[in-house]
Each structure stands twice: as C-alpha cells, then as structure tokens.
Amino acid sequence: MVTESHSFPTFARWRVTGVTKPSATSALSRALAEAVQIEILLEGEKILRAEQRITDLILVKDGRLRGTEQPPTNSGPGEVVALRDLLLGERIKEDIGAAGGQATIWRIPEKAFRAIARQYPDLSLLLFQVAFGATGALTQALQDDATKWQSLRPFLVASPKRGIIGNSKYATRLRKEILEAARDTSRGAVFVFGEPGLEKDEAAALVHFGSRDRREPMARVDCERAGDGLAAELFGAGSRQGLLAWLGAGTLLLNNVHRAAPSTLGALQRLVRDGNYSPLRTSSRVSSSPPPLIPADEDGGEAAWQSSPARILMTSEQRVPDLESLATLIKVPPLRVRPGDIADLARYFVRQAARRKGLPQANLTEEAIRHLESYTFPNNIKELESILDRAASQLTGDKAVQVPEDVFWFATQAQDRFRWNLLRPLPLLQRLFRSKLWPEDINFKFTAFVYPAFVALLLFGPQDRAHNFGLNLFWCYWWPLIFIVYPFLGRIWCAVCPFMIYGEIVQRWRLAQGVVLRKWPHKSVGEWGPWFLWALFLAILVWEEVWDLPDTAYLSGWLLIIITAGAMVCSWFFERRLWCRHLCPIGGMNGMFAKLSMTELRAQPGVCSGNCSTYHCYKGGPEEPPLGQETGGCPLYSHPAQLTDNRNCVLCMECDKACPHDNLEFRLRVPGVDLWSTHKPLTAELALLFTLLGAVYVHHLPQLLQQLRLDPDLAQAQGPHIAVSTLVLLAPGCIALGAHGLAELADAMSALMPGATAGQGKRVRGKPFLELAYGYMPLVWAGTLAHYLLPFLGEAGRILPVTAATVGLEEWGGGLPVLVEDGSVTAFLQGTCLLSGAALSLLLTRKIGARPWARLAPQCLAVLGFTAELWTLLLP
C-alpha cells in the first residue's frame, strides 16, 4: 500500500458538495480536505478484514473495492466503503480489497472524522441519507460519471499487453525512445511510425501507461474505421459531446492517422498543435453526408473554440509530414532488420499461446528458432504471433513440450505456379486415398501376413538368386522398382513398407496396454539421425559388397530383419514413426530421391490458417463430419501445409483422411522443383548421396581396380576388401568437394587478376557446396538405376522358373516361359539413363548455382567425369 499526502481532491469535493447545503459546502470541504489521506491499493490487497470494526471514513477515488462474501459488496469511484457498518458501529462481515486492478482511496482517520462530524453535524445526516437510500444529488453525480465512462468505454485502452521484447540494438533504442516520450512532462504529441503488424498502438500505450498520467483514461480511435465521421466522433456534433470532452486530461490515440479523411486533417493539425477544436453543428449520425467542419455556436455566428488538455498520440504506416512535424517521432523497426529479437518474441508468444490453450509449458527447439529466424515476416510481429498461436494449436500432451520446427508454416510457402491438383480431375484417386484400402488394408490384411513368409524363405530357402524366388524379388524387382518410382511418386514405398507395418503392430499393442509412449527427442534425433542413417547405410553397402548379399539369401533376410527391428524398437518406446522420419537408412534414401519427384502432396496454407482450428491432419483426432475421418495424425509429424520438400511425406494420406476442409492437393509439378526453391539442404543427406554414387562403383569393383591398374586380388581377402570398398564409397564425395574447392579458388583468383578494377574484381561468391552439390542427384539416381536395370531386364523375367526351383521343381520349371531381353536393349536403356542423368545434373547445377557455365565448370566437369566412368563400368 502506498500513502501520499495530498491537497483536498476535487473529486471528493464534487461528491460531498453534491449533497450538502451550499452554505456548508466550502467549510466542510476544507475540513475534509485537511484530514484526507490518499492510499493506493494494489490488485488483491485488502483494506478491511472480516470482523473488524470500521472507524475511518473511506471513499473510493478510482478503481474498485470488492468483498469476499457471496454476493460480494462492491464499491466504485465516489462511494463510501462499508458506510452502513461505519454509521451503526457494527463489525464488517467480509474481507474487502482492491479488485480488477489497483485502486485509490481517500481515508479520513477516525479521530479527524469524529472531530469534523462534531463540528459539522450535517455530515452525519448526509452520510445517513446516503447509506439508507436518500442519495439525491449524489445519485445524479454518479449518473454523470457513469455516462462519461459509458461514452468512453468503446474506446478505452485497458493497459499494454506487453513491453518491447528483445535485446537487439533496435529493441533497446525503441525502449529508450518510448521511455523518453513517457517522461515528457510537457505531454507533447507523439507520432509512432512503422510497417503493418509492428504493434505500434502497443508502443503508444506504453508511452501513456509509462507516464505519470497513467491513471487518466486512454482512448483509441481508428481513423480509417471512423472515416468521414472522425471529426464528429472526436469533437462532438450538435448536442452530442465528443470524445475529447469526455476524455478530459487523458490521452487520445489516433490509430492509422495516415488514413484519416483528408477533410479532417486540418482540424487534427490544429488539435495536435494548439489543443483546440470545435464541435460540429450537426450530428454525423443523422446526416448521410459528411458533417461540415463548421464550429457550432449559439447563434450560427462565430466558432465556439474549445480547448482540450488531452495528450495526443498517433500511429501511422506512412509519413504524414503535416502531423509528424508537430510531434516526437518514434520509428518502430521491422522484424526483418532485427532477427535477433525473433527468438525472444517467439518464446514469449509460444508460452502465452500454450497458457491460453491450457497446455503445459512449451519451449521451442533450436531448430524451430532457426527455422523462424530464416523467415522475413512481411507482416512482422502480428504474423509471428499468429504462427506461434497456430503452432500451439497443434501441440498435445500434459507435460512440458518441446515445440519442433514442423509445426510452423509461413504464408509465402504457397507457390502454386506450374502445379496442377490431380485430385480434381481424378475423383477416383481421391476416393482411393480416403478409403481404408490405402494403405491400412493393404498393410494389415495382406503385407503383414506375406512378409514373414518372405523373410523365412530368404532365411531357410535356397541361397542363390537362380533358385530363391524371394531373393529374385528382392534384388530384381524391389530394388530397381523403388528407383523407377522416385521421379513419379517420391517416397510412396514407405506407405506400404513391411518393415514399418511391424513397427506399427508393436505400437498398437503397446497403446492397447495403456502405455503412454514417449515424445520424440527432436533435438537429438534432428541433429544425429541423418548421420546415424548414413553410417548405417555405409555399413550395409560394405556388407552387401563384401558378403555378396544379392546372392546370399539368408544375409538378405537378415538385412530385412535388422531394418524391421529398428522400426519395432523405436515404435516400442516412441510415438508415431520416429524410425521412418529420422533413422531408417532406406527411408533416408527414399526421402532424398523423393525431392526429384514430379508429384507432391500439400495443403493450402491459407485454408489451414483461416478456416482450421483442429489441425487434425497433424495432431490426429476424432471424426470431423462431413469429411474428416478419425485418424492418429501424420505418422511422420509433418504438416502438409508446411512441407518445403517431399523428404518427410510418405504419401500415406492420413492427412487427407483427417482434413474436414478438403484442403489436400496431390499435385503434378516440375520434377525436382524443391531443389532450387524451398528444400532444406542437409550435410548428412549429401554424404548419403555421394555414398550411393560410390556404391555403383563398388558394385563393379574388379573392373574399377583393373582400370586403376591396381591388383584385382585386393577384393579377395576380407580385410582389404572392406577397406577398399569403404574408400570407393567415400571417394565421390571427396572428388565433388575438390571440384567445388577448385571453383572457389578460380573465383578468388579471378578477383585478384591484375586487370580487375575495384568493382569488377569484387568477388561474387557462388552457392555453398551444401546447396550446389544437390545438382549431382539426377546422376546418382540415374547411375544407380542403370546398374539395377541389368537384373531387372535380364533376370526378373525368369521369376516363374526361379519359383519352380524354389520349391524343388527345377527340372519342371525349365519349361516355363521367361521374359528377358538380349543385352542390347539393356545397354541402350542404361546408356540413355546415364546420359539423361548427366544432362539433368548439369541443368540442375546451373539452376541451383544461378551462375554462368564457366563459373560452374569444375562441378560440371566432375559430373561428366563421373558419367564417363560409370559408362565404362556399366557399358564395357
């Protein structure tokens, strides 16, 4: 509680004189004034306790006091607290304290109160009249007060929502400017200027509530919304009082002053400069045309100028020299020039949003912060707040949660040029995607039963490809087909993959037991997952080469078991498909090549942010008629509106099933468009890309060693074979890195050439290796496919005799038809594949690099060199 000494307040005089005889007024008022003490009560602070006997006269100046009993007693401005108990000398029945904010009271201590009452007997009579209903003029006074607050209410600004958040030099400077304006004792006008979405009205509110006028009312008027009625609203018209008259010495905030009707600009200028205004003659409410700016007067003669003590604050998105020159200018910097503040703002907003939605404490991951910092926020703080609000809507759980980057999406991601939604002309396709058949029935009514038999065949059946139907399927069908599908349907294999079906079976069983599965450790798997899967893939490739997996059935079976075990273990502990999103080596390869696809699944971000409040596509949830089905949400924790590439979408169509707004589009697009537009490059993904290129060379190791004039017997002993294979797998990445280094060196040298002028010699840096190296991707895909075309075209067509051989009918199977082509067709297709891959790689390199060919020469030569070497190995 804060106590101030004070001269007798005008307010008290007004209240008390309203009910006393004029002759007694001044003397009684003076006596009260001399005795009064002012106290400020903070929110919730008690002034009286139950069972206490009240002896002081206590009046409310502003704010509100409330009792604790039901119904509570309420005392507002001008009212005497517990007057009845005071007069009757009774104990009060409840605690009484400030409610709804701080309150100011006047207290006349018991001794002074008794002395005044003895000296002025009218006071006791007056108080009895007030206490027992004879309110008379006091009621009138209160009514006037109520009218004032009622008129102000639609415009009142309660308090600023927050201060200036952030520690950048811009935020620091803004805080300083606001503080200086708040401390301006002359109460000069302030002009707050900045782009949309910068919460300029909040900055203005900070000026008012940081000043010593903070207890005066602050009213806000939107000049754009008020239109031609602005002058009538502010100054009054006819008999109607204007806002300035009600506001008194408060603060007037003119929002969007750059949009004020031009006809009002002169009057606003006068108000800001001199504090003068004149009410209009007619009310704009009854006039269809804008009220003329003619001052009202008694007889239609001269203007009736009035003076307003109100302080004027203005906000604007554009410069308004006529007003700005009369005020202190505060410029609010856009968010894009102070990205250092984004993290602080985002953390604040996500905590607020989580609290509003009744969620537990929410924290942002480092990746999420980086993701936000990479965006320019054209709509500034408002946009950031709505993004965080949307993100919080997608969170679930009852423990503290880490907010991953996947729950953010930005409006600018929707670039629909050259994209064509296939679901409109092909409604049957949409019906399939929304049906239980895709992929639930396929997975759990078919594959779940066939897969164990397949693995058993590999483990216990004949061990070579000519006699094991399973091995033939594995290496001659599955592996080539998976590469053929990438450019068309990206990662669709993962929608029907048997490895994960068993992961899901485990997970469903655990959930049925009532187990609460763990949340993903986003930070660590995001950081180490891609490297883990690369290392696992590298190990598998060495294993495949040295132990000849394509011709050793039980080892191929073990490979499947290992990947399935990974999926099952992760699903045992963690929710959804952690293994598929971050750890599976096949999934990593699928996600990478899916970026080349000519199709994509996306949601329209505008519909998601404008029409959706459930985000069932991401979170999962119950049925939302008429279209939304009950689902568990995206198994990979991807939101279809924020996908920037195909890496983390397996086309399982859970989101399409869940969306009640029919907002999913399965689109045809320019193949690989992600790679030069929105995709996020990953170092570990590039390592995987070059390892896969190395794998094609490793598959032809004896020829390669021969070409390099090395002893082909190196590949005979296990140890050297492992070492050489590993080196060959790693070599293409090193060569590509070297080529990039050469390009950088050439750039640097050209900048130092003696003939280069200052401007010309300035080094223009190319794209970093991390981005540019994705240009190799078509070649790696084409090289791998060219390698697997050989078993696909030369062996897959023998499936019938191989099946017969598997069941011990080899002799009989010799008569079964086969479909294999002679080597020339395969060679032709392999050559075409390689040349196309090389050409696409060159074009993609140019597109990503966005530089002249000459500047990209080392990388282009590397592409051609890799192609030539593949050609000699695949087409000897």
Residue from 364, 388, 525, 601 binding ligand SF4 (CB under 6 A): 601
Q: Find where tokens 């979408």 sit.
A: 649
Intra-chain end-to-end CA distance of the chain, in Å:
94
Tokens of 861: 């030569």
- Which of residues 98, 617, 743, 874 is near ligand SF4 by CB under 6 A? 617
CB of 657 to ligand SF4, least distance (A): 8
Q: What is the smallest separation between the CB atom of 326 and ligand SF4, expressed in angstroms?
A: 48
Give me the 370-389 binding string for ligand SF4, x by CB under 6 A, dash otherwise: --------------------
Which residue lies nearer to ligand SF4 by CB, 616 or 669? 616
Query: Which strands make up the sheet holding 103-108, listed edge to edge?
Result: 2-4, 37-41, 103-108, 57-62
Nearer to ligand SF4 by C-beta: 229 or 587? 587
Contact, 720 vs 711, CB < 8 A? no
Phi, psi of 222 (to 5 degrees): -90, 110
Q: Name the residue among 616, 624, 623 with its Cα closest to residue 641.
A: 616
CA distance 494 to 478: 13
> What does the DSSP assignment read for 821-841?
--HHHHHHHHHHHHHHHHHHH
Q: Produce one character per residue of 519-555: b if its CB has 16 or more CB atoms within 10 Å, e if not.
A: bbbbeebbeebbebbbbbbbebbbbbbbeebbebbbb
Task: Out of 371, 616, 647, 798, name the contact with ligand SF4 by CB under 6 A.
Answer: 616
Site string for ligand SF4, 35-64 (x = CB under 6 A): ------------------------------
For ligand SF4, the binding residue among 603, 692, 693, 715 (CB under 6 A) is 603
Closest Cα to residue 318, out of 224, 208, 220?
224
Tokens of 252: 């007037």
Q: Minimum distance between the CB of residue 456 and ligand SF4, rounded to whole angstroms?
A: 19
Q: In this structure, what token pair is assigned to residue 784? A: 């791998």
- Per the structure block, which two tokens stand in for 855? 């500047």
Site string for ligand SF4, 546-585 (x = CB under 6 A): -----------------x---x-----------xx---x-
Q: Are 193 and 319 in contact (CB under 8 A)?
A: yes
Question: Could you say which of 663, 691, 726, 784 contacts ligand SF4 (CB under 6 A)?
Answer: 663
Residue 587 interacts with ligand SF4 (CB under 6 A): yes or no: yes
Strand, helix or coil at 752?
A: helix
Number of residues engaging ligand SF4 in binding (CB under 6 A): 37
Nearer to ligand SF4, 323 or 643 (CB): 643
Nearer to ligand SF4, 193 or 493 (CB): 493
Task: Find the DSSP H helices in 374-447.
Answer: 380-393, 427-434, 442
Q: Taking the complex as a whole, how short is the minimal distance between the CB of residue 658 and ligand SF4, in angstroms?
A: 6
Q: Which is nearer to ligand SF4, 574 or 579 (CB)?
A: 579
User: Least distance in Å: CB of 535 to ligand SF4?
Assistant: 16
736 binds ligand SF4 (CB under 6 A): no
| Residue 607 interacting with ligand SF4 (CB under 6 A) | yes
Helix 683-698 vs helix 857-874: angle between axes, to the nearest 10 degrees?
30
Q: Between residues 197 and 503, which has the closer beta carbon with respect to ligand SF4?
A: 503
Element (H, E) at 170: helix 169-182
Pairwise CA distance, residues 748 & 767, whole Å: 14
Nearest approach, Cβ of residue 493 and ligand SF4 (Å): 6
Question: At its nearest, how many Å lie between ligand SF4 and the CB of residue 223?
Answer: 36
Per CB under 6 A, the list member of 368, 497, 592, 736 interacting with ligand SF4 is 497
State how far the Cα of 253 lies from the Cα of 154, in Å rounded to an integer: 13
Between 197 and 660, whose beta carbon lies closer to ligand SF4?
660
* List 438, 499, 534, 774, residue binding ligand SF4 (CB under 6 A): 499
Instruction: Tell me the closest approach of the beta carbon of residue 676 to ligand SF4, in angstroms.
Output: 22
CB of 776 to ligand SF4, least distance (A): 23
What distance in Å separates the CA atoms of residue 297 and residue 214, rounded to the nearest whole number?
34
Q: Closest approach of Cβ 212 to ligand SF4, in Å?
A: 48
What are the residues whose beta carbons fall under 8 Å from the beta carbon of 807, sequence distance 6 or more?
Answer: none
Conformational region of residue 467, where left means phi above 0, alpha means psi within -120 to 50, and beta covers everything else: alpha
403/494 with CB nearer ligand SF4:
494
- Cα gap 732→741, rounded to integer Å: 14
Where does this chain touch ligand SF4 (CB under 6 A) — which range of 214-222, 410-418, 605-613, 768-776? 605-613
Q: Which is nearer to ligand SF4, 354 or 580 (CB)?
A: 580
The residue of the chain with the least Cβ separation from ligand SF4 equals: 587
Nearer to ligand SF4, 63 or 585 (CB): 585
Position 492 contacts ligand SF4 (CB under 6 A): no
Residue 688 in contact with ligand SF4, rule: CB under 6 A: no
Encode burial over 313-326: b for 16+ CB neighbours within 10 A, e otherwise. Answer: bbbbbeebeebbeb
Q: Which is nearer to ligand SF4, 255 or 642 (CB)?
A: 642
Query: In 3-state terms, what secondary structure has residue 80?
Result: strand
Question: What is the three-class DSSP state of 255?
Answer: strand
- 3-class DSSP state for residue 7? coil
Write down how long the chain is.
876
The one-letter code for the residue type at 293 is L
* Two structure tokens written together for 792: 């696909």
Contact status: 333 vs ligand SF4 (CB under 6 A): no
Q: From the list 83, 392, 608, 873, which residue makes contact with ligand SF4 (rule: CB under 6 A)? A: 608
SS (H, E, C) 765-776: CCCCHHHHHHHH
Question: Would you count residue 597 as binding ligand SF4 (CB under 6 A)?
Answer: no
532 binds ligand SF4 (CB under 6 A): no
Cβ burial 114-149 (10 Å sphere, 16+ → b, else e): eebbeebebbeebbeebbeeeeeebeebbeebeebe
Site for ligand SF4 in 627-656 (CB under 6 A): 634, 636, 638, 640-641, 649-655
Q: Which is nearer to ligand SF4, 123 or 586 (CB)?
A: 586
Considering beta carbons, is residue 192 or 659 the nearer one to ligand SF4? 659
Q: Which residue, 343 or 536, is less far from ligand SF4 as judged by CB?
A: 536
Q: Are 35 and 113 in contact (CB under 8 A)?
A: yes
The tokens for 234 are 């502010």
Which residues lie near ligand SF4 (CB under 6 A)? 494, 497, 499-500, 563, 567, 579-580, 584, 586-587, 590, 601, 603, 607-608, 611-612, 615-617, 634, 636, 638, 640-641, 649-655, 658-659, 661, 663
